[in-house]
Chains A and B, each alone.
Chain A
Amino acid sequence: MALLVAIVIGAVVAAAYVLKLDDQVKTQFAGKLWALPARVFARPLELYEGQTLFADNLEKELRLLNYSKIKGKPSGTGQFSRNGNTFVIYSRGFRFAEDNEPERAFQLTIKKGRIASLKHANNDDPLNLMRIEPLLIGNFYPSHNEDRVLVQLDEVAPMLLKGLIAVEDKNYYDHVGVNPKSIMRALLANAKAGQTVQGGSTLTQQLVKNFYLNNERSIKRKVNEATMALLLELHSTKDKILETYLNEIYLGQNKKRAIHGFGLASQFYFSKPIRELAVDQIALLIGMAKGASYYDPRRFPKRALERRNLVLDIMARESVITNADAETYKSQPLHITANAPPSVSPFPAYLELVKSQLQRDYQEEDLRSEGLLIFTAMDPIVQLTAEKVLSKRVASLERQQRMKRGKLNGAIVVSTVQDSEVLAIVGGRDVRYAGYNRAMDAKRQIGSLVKPGVFLAALESPKKYTLSSLISDGPVKVRLSDGKVWEPGNYDHRDLGRVTLEDALVKSRNTPTVRVGVTLGMNKVVEKLHDLGITSEIPPYPSVLLGALELSPLEVQQMYQTIASGGTYTPLKSIRFVMDSFGQTLKRYPLNVKQVATPEANYLVTYAMNQITKRGTAKYLSRSLPAWKNSAGKTGTTNNKRDSWYAGFTGQHVASVWVGRDDNKETGLTGGTGAIKVWSDLFKVLPTRPLKPVRPGKVRFVKVDSDTGLLYNSNCGKSVTRPFIRGTQPRKYRVCVVATPMEETVPVPAE
């Protein structure tokens, strides 16, 4: 009787325990399985006939995307061949939200820096426009640092599945989760050998072990595993379990991050997507399922090779591959990449900008675990070029100024004029480490960079100020509200008499700027600076007119972006759109414009800034850049030559450069001797359209006298053709006073 009761109670307890396990299996399996990191992509390279593209840059991009360069025709995705300037590429394709970019084999020829012809490799269908898949530039990882590249069962080669089953669990499709026969076999083998040499676990049991439990090896644990495996088989299908296994099995370690799943392991060991793997590479991965650290091919290559060959033998024995093939593969070396891919992004500065924009719209946790796909506008070629240019030129400037090595630093921001998309951010010379991002975080006084804003505000009152307005260059005193008097001077302490407004900007004269700014009203100037996109607080001190205003290069970039795009303010953006892991667009960031300066005043300022590169403080560019690369810009230097700035734009790109010391000591460099060289180095190699501002209808050019700014009198003086808003051009001719040699006592006005 008592025995019966004990049995019943035991059964009830066992049943309860099993139900608990069952509950665990169900909730773990039914709910969301994996937290996927958010992936950040650069822009997809667009290809079309007429596109400016250098052949070496195309090759660089393909290599960044881990395309293999082969001889002969590419046979599978991820391969390309190059013959001089002709490429034959088999692209991988990519699924964007609305439009799918299919994989393609195509051929293109580059002539004189442009794509001369683009067509399909195999047939004659026209190919107008296509994109190569975007480069992955970074990830935002979930808190437990896991990462996966999910694969579906139908995406993997059947060879992989057959091989896996053959090696790990021959009768996978026949058992119910636990295979008593294999357990028996393993027990016998272990008893014979005296130690554990064989495992009798099925794939389901291995999955349970990997997924739910950790690495204890006790009887109780094994019983738990077995029960849960049975329950799992009840709740799910063989295929689903196999797919989960493919994505869950532990296959390596990348510093802090565990590599789970065949999809990510194939990227980690071979830098290729799983469908591009060869049979011997697949065999290696299958072999590692048993013990990824023990068979790590980078640390224990011999062990890994033996294991791989054993797997190939088993596969041949189970007729997954032929014996002849197995022999061929066994003689191959391990085709792994020598180094693990970096565990952190190579572009931390750009990722910082992406993150700051995302945090406006997404919660931190969703960002890190929902598997979002974030498509940015970053151009990896421009980024790498800018990084190289900055580090080389800053090193050379440092040597030239006889500074201690490593003291001078700089930052660059590059964006496009039309869409205001940031293409590249260089935060310093030491680019690969997520250190101090000077482009976004280093606020320095901008010096003369503020002057275009001041003159733009002035030119918006065209009846009061035109490019020809004469302003005194003499010393100026400004009485501040506290009674003090501020007496700024020109940087060369000279007095040029009266200068035209254009010359005041072109030659970067201080005192005319102060006169114009204070007479116009500090509130107007500050308002215009805010309109141009500066969000930091601008105190209405007159010293702001000379640039006593601390901004980061990114904020300077926004200001010059607005001027470059004809007076339309478009906030700088890095993200184009965000997609979820199912392929739906979650959020778009479309183009947004707001006219903040009249097109006419903006054109006048752009014209003057173009003159700066021809005859002003940025004359260096007319020597160093080819004549057709027309650009406009402004140099900036601060007190005691602490900061050297140059911000400028062409027809397609805007770039701001800062060069200075982190400890804010003097560098001896001005904008025209320091930062401009970095800018010029960058634009020498960057393919860009020249500056060709569109002339607004109300602007007309008039020949005026270069000294007085009045209408040109052909009898004396020099003429210069200057733009004016219709109705505001000078109305008086310059009067020529002829010197009569008789009157020697009265000084004669010079001509």
Chain B
Amino acid sequence: MFKQTAVKQCIVLFLSLAGAACSSTDNRARNTNRSALPPSPMPQARLQAPRNIYVPPVFDEYRPQQPSYSSPLRGYEEYAPEKNYRDSYTSAIERQPPAVVEVLKPKPEIQARSVEPLATVVQREDFSKNELDIDPFASVPDREVLSVSRQGPAAPPPPRSTKPMSRAAKALSLQAKAESAVGRNDAAINKVERALRIEPQSPLLWNQLANLNFKKGRYDQAIGFARKALPMASGNRDLVQKNLDLMSKAAVKTGNTRVFKEVLDYKKQNF
């Protein structure tokens, strides 16, 4: 594919030289202010400003594209290219979106699976009947399950939000709290990151990290960490609320209105 491109560009360059040679003989009398060669078809830097006296080159590819909203041919799907003239002048030829022409093989009737003449349109309220509020990954054990046969069916592991933190992670979390109380936020963040390596799925730790980043003034990061904590805290309403509040506070500081919408959406969906 790339070789083709290089060869194509060589051919175009050659043609451009040929074109220049031909056209300059025609216009010699006109005395136009044109350089010896037309602009090279190699991709030019986008930072170049277009020249004031622009003489368009003589190739089809560089002709300004009219949006080809031609009548759609039956049976074909055509992709309308965008009106991005600048790009088509200053960049390589290929930077136009391609058109898809689908050729569907004529399918024998036997294979028609999409015959749905009597499909009933189900009303909106019925959809929630079909929804299963399950989490198939919840039955994956947290770690290696060695002897299943003896113990019988293992109890499903407790949901993430209510699992107690291991002692090591709790110790680090407390140390981090102490450090941030003294004002050493960087050291506190270090400790919480260390705790997260021990216990990555703990919503309390992510929440603590979000708070510390908020205190440091890193509001975007605070939003990101609080957002990460949300699904992990899904059973614990207070914790979810705390995270959402933190996201709103940080969004106020950065003026990020999309986050407000996200928080509202979340509240609508779940509360």
Residues of B within 8 A of A652 (CB): 200
Q: Give A707's nearest chain B residue, CB to CB.
A: B113
- Distance (Å) between the CB of B234 and the closest chain A CB? 7
Whether B171 sits at the interface, judged by CB under 8 Å, is yes
A522 and B97 within 8 A (CB): yes
Whether B29 sits at the interface, judged by CB under 8 Å, is no
Complex Cα distance, B110 from A711, in Å, reads 22
B225 and A518 within 8 A (CB): no
Residues of A within 8 A of B121 (CB): 731-732
A477 and B144 within 8 A (CB): no
Chain A residues at the B interface, C-beta cutoff of 8 Å = 46, 48-52, 98-99, 112-113, 128-129, 416-419, 470, 472, 474-482, 485-486, 495, 497-498, 515, 518-519, 521-523, 539-543, 548, 566, 568, 577, 585, 588, 590-595, 599, 626, 628, 630, 652, 689-698, 700-703, 707-708, 711, 721, 726-727, 729, 731-735, 737, 747-750
- Distance (Å) between the CB of A514 and the closest chain B CB? 8
Chain B residues at the A interface, C-beta cutoff of 8 Å = 1-2, 8, 61, 77, 79, 81, 92-105, 107-122, 127, 130-138, 140-146, 160, 166-168, 171-172, 179, 184, 186-187, 189-190, 193-194, 196-198, 200-201, 209, 220-221, 224-225, 227-228, 230-232, 234, 266, 269-270
Residues of B within 8 A of A416 (CB): 197
Q: Knowing A482-B94, A628-B144, A732-B119 are in contact, say whether A693-B137 is a contact too (CB < 8 A).
A: yes
A478 and B113 within 8 A (CB): no
- Distance (Å) between the CB of A470 and the closest chain B CB? 8
A48 and B166 within 8 A (CB): yes
Selected from B140, B171, B172, the residue in CB contact (under 8 A) with A691 is B140
B97 and A515 within 8 A (CB): no
Q: Give A711's nearest chain B residue, CB to CB.
A: B130
Residues of B within 8 A of A548 (CB): 1-2
B171 and A128 within 8 A (CB): yes
Q: Knowing A701-B132, A703-B130 are in contact, say whether A541-B115 is a contact too (CB < 8 A).
A: no
Residues of B within 8 A of A694 (CB): 160, 201, 231-232, 234
Complex Cα distance, B200 from A566, in Å, reads 13
User: Would you give 19 A-B contacts (Cβ < 8 Å), ordered by A?
Assistant: A49-B167, A50-B166, A129-B167, A472-B104, A478-B99, A481-B93, A519-B100, A539-B95, A540-B95, A588-B186, A588-B189, A599-B231, A691-B140, A694-B160, A707-B113, A726-B131, A729-B130, A731-B127, A734-B116
Selected from A481, A515, A702, A735, the residue in CB contact (under 8 A) with B131 is A702
B98 and A700 within 8 A (CB): no
B140 and A129 within 8 A (CB): no
Residues of B within 8 A of A417 (CB): 200
B231 and A628 within 8 A (CB): no
Selected from A48, A626, A702, the residue in CB contact (under 8 A) with B144 is A626
The 7 lowest CB-CB distance pairs between A and B, nearest first, are A48-B168, A481-B96, A593-B224, A129-B168, A700-B131, A418-B200, A694-B231
- Distance (Å) between the CB of B97 and the closest chain A CB? 6
Complex Cα distance, B193 from A481, in Å, reads 50
Q: Knowing A697-B269, A711-B130 are in contact, say whether A46-B197 is a contact too (CB < 8 A).
A: yes
Complex Cα distance, B186 from A585, in Å, reads 10
Residues of B within 8 A of A726 (CB): 131, 269
Selected from A482, A519, A541, the residue in CB contact (under 8 A) with B1 is A541
A478 and B98 within 8 A (CB): yes
Selected from A46, A50, A541, A732, the residue in CB contact (under 8 A) with B94 is A541
B225 and A593 within 8 A (CB): yes
Complex Cα distance, B186 from A489, in Å, reads 54
Residues of A within 8 A of B99 (CB): 478-479
A749 and B115 within 8 A (CB): yes
Residues of A within 8 A of B270 (CB): 697
A48 and B8 within 8 A (CB): no
Q: Knowing A482-B61, A482-B93, A628-B140 are in contact, say whether A697-B101 is a contact too (CB < 8 A).
A: no
Complex Cα distance, B251 from A250, in Å, reads 61
Complex Cα distance, B130 from A626, in Å, reads 33
Residues of A within 8 A of B101 (CB): 477-479, 485
- Distance (Å) between the CB of A459 and the closest chain B CB? 17
Complex Cα distance, B133 from A696, in Å, reads 11
Q: Knowing A98-B190, A112-B146, A701-B136 are in contact, say whether A49-B168 is a contact too (CB < 8 A).
A: yes
Q: Give A472's nearest chain B residue, CB to CB.
A: B104
Q: Give B108's nearest chain A residue, CB to CB.
A: A747
B228 and A593 within 8 A (CB): yes
Q: Knowing A98-B184, A518-B79, A697-B266 are in contact, say whether A691-B137 is a contact too (CB < 8 A).
A: yes
A595 and B109 within 8 A (CB): no
A628 and B145 within 8 A (CB): yes
Residues of A within 8 A of B269 (CB): 697-698, 726
Q: Knowing A568-B224, A628-B144, A731-B121 are in contact, say whether A700-B132 is a contact too (CB < 8 A).
A: yes
- Distance (Å) between the CB of B59 and the closest chain A CB? 11
B231 and A696 within 8 A (CB): yes
Q: Knowing A49-B168, A726-B131 are in contact, say whether A418-B196 is a contact too (CB < 8 A).
A: yes
Complex Cα distance, B194 from A99, in Å, reads 12
Complex Cα distance, B269 from A566, in Å, reads 20
Complex Cα distance, B136 from A691, in Å, reads 11
Known A98-B187, A593-B221; further 18 A-B contacts with Cβ < 8 A: A46-B197, A48-B198, A98-B179, A98-B190, A99-B187, A474-B103, A477-B100, A497-B111, A518-B98, A519-B77, A539-B95, A588-B190, A701-B133, A707-B113, A721-B132, A732-B120, A732-B122, A735-B117
Complex Cα distance, B109 from A515, in Å, reads 23
Residues of A within 8 A of B109 (CB): 747, 749
Q: Which of B61, B101, B179 has the most CB of A within 10 A?
A: B101
Complex Cα distance, B101 from A643, in Å, reads 30
Q: Knowing A48-B166, A697-B234, A721-B136 are in contact, say whether A498-B114 is a contact too (CB < 8 A).
A: yes
Q: Give B175's nearest chain A residue, CB to CB.
A: A99
A477 and B102 within 8 A (CB): yes
A515 and B110 within 8 A (CB): no
Residues of B within 8 A of A700 (CB): 131-133
Residues of B within 8 A of A696 (CB): 231
B137 and A735 within 8 A (CB): no
- Distance (Å) between the CB of A546 and the closest chain B CB? 10
B231 and A695 within 8 A (CB): yes
Q: Give A476's nearest chain B residue, CB to CB.
A: B102
- Distance (Å) between the CB of A683 and the closest chain B CB? 13
- Distance (Å) between the CB of A345 and the closest chain B CB? 25
Selected from A482, A540, A749, the residue in CB contact (under 8 A) with B112 is A749
B102 and A729 within 8 A (CB): no
Q: Give B100's nearest chain A residue, CB to CB.
A: A518
Q: Give A694's nearest chain B residue, CB to CB.
A: B231
B122 and A128 within 8 A (CB): no
Complex Cα distance, B130 from A734, in Å, reads 14
Q: Give B192's nearest chain A residue, CB to CB.
A: A591
- Distance (Å) between the CB of B172 and the closest chain A CB? 7
B98 and A522 within 8 A (CB): yes
Q: Knowing A479-B100, A690-B141, A702-B130 are in contact, say whether A750-B110 is a contact too (CB < 8 A).
A: yes
Complex Cα distance, B232 from A700, in Å, reads 16
Residues of A within 8 A of B145 (CB): 628
Complex Cα distance, B145 from A385, in Å, reads 23
Complex Cα distance, B193 from A52, in Å, reads 18
A594 and B224 within 8 A (CB): yes
Residues of B within 8 A of A590 (CB): 186, 189-190, 193
- Distance (Å) between the CB of B207 and the closest chain A CB? 14
Residues of A within 8 A of B133 (CB): 700-701
Complex Cα distance, B172 from A732, in Å, reads 53
Q: Give A52's nearest chain B residue, CB to CB.
A: B143
Q: Knowing A48-B198, A630-B137, A690-B140 are in contact, say whether A519-B79 is a contact too (CB < 8 A).
A: yes
Q: Give A700's nearest chain B residue, CB to CB.
A: B131
- Distance (Å) between the CB of A358 and the closest chain B CB? 19
Q: Give A577's nearest chain B residue, CB to CB.
A: B190
Complex Cα distance, B94 from A577, in Å, reads 44
Residues of B within 8 A of A476 (CB): 100, 102-103
Complex Cα distance, B221 from A419, in Å, reads 14
A692 and B138 within 8 A (CB): yes
Residues of A within 8 A of B61 (CB): 481-482
Q: Give A514's nearest chain B residue, CB to CB.
A: B100
